[in-house]
Chains A and B, each alone.
Chain A
Amino acid sequence: MKFTEEHEWLRPEDDVIVVGITEHAATQLGDLVFVELPEPGIMVSKDDEIVVIESVKAASDILAPIDGEIVEVNEGLVDNPALVNDDPLGEAWFFKMKPSDPSQMDDMMDADAYAKYIG
């Protein structure tokens, strides 16, 4: 599993990458009340704002961590945004991507590096 400085996790699963946000991010955001997901099938570039989330406090974006195609989104989050707080690393994945260039993940943090990053 890899981690970004934007507090996303990326988990390879067969030929796609599953993306979610970390427990640290979920805690910082507070209770989520709204999730808006991208359309499956669209091509995105790294750092595109592709997901909108709102917590009890504020709205924020989730950025595409790499270039690629969105192949699947987790519609369950739209009906139950609180799942992100309950199980951020498991059931509450946001989307699956087919990467254009898997080497973009090479420089990302591993679990130990991310743990140090969030202090």
Chain B
Amino acid sequence: MSTQVINSWADAEDDVPAPEVTTNPDGTKTVVSYRQNQKGQKIRVTQKIKEIKVQEKVHPLVAKRRTWAKYGKEKNTPPGPDTRTTQLGEIVELKLGTQWKEMEKQEEEEKAQQSAQVISNQRIKCRLCGGDHFTSKCPFKGTLGDAGKDESSLSTADIVIDPSSPGAPSKFVPRHMRRDAEGNLPARDSSARDDSTTLRISQLNTLVDEHMVRNELLAAYGPLERVALVRNRDTGISRGFAYVSFATEQLAERALNDLNGKGYHSLILHIEWSKKKKQ
């Protein structure tokens, strides 16, 4: 059995010499101590210490109270603050001023800006050019985009759009995203629809249905392309407004001028263009 077994790690004696203290002629002390750093190398630390006695005048009563023995829960505890009950808090600021609220707000904003910058610097990476901005905001979008894409970075959108292509996984494609008979993709955004002939009719009585709008209210301005009465999804009761597309813009304008503000089934109609006209 080896005799060099160390029973306790803490008992292991290290070969660090004891610190040397020398008193200098100018009243200072030089302490040379040795210790081992993390790599196991021996380090010599030389400290020069100057002791200064600070005299503070206190009330004799106060000085006397400092010598009192502790009692209660603190009985038999060593002198000095106990870290279990006494700790230094974090630094708090007290900025006095009549505008302290604004000052504080400004500071907070600056901090938020800084942290936002840090985040943007760290995390965001453009998939196209590798810059620190969102991919959608890449200045090289469209020019660099296709070149940057290779097989591995094929976005899921591409796969969805082309479900019939061989090799693509058979994934569910929502109906509104499937190709039509001609092989065209449906327009994604609603702005593609031409709303120039559409009116929004509100303040309709709830008993009015599509049929009444088409054949009673707007019969004189027909034929109508589309009548969409908005109903409550759960109850099916009309919510009192409808979108109506006319054949031409002139018909729509005539209907607007004639019927806006007129009564219909005991309510006064309010008609406007469904989309604000561009001037």
A and B assemble together: no
**Chain B residues within 8 Å of A, Cβ to Cβ:** none
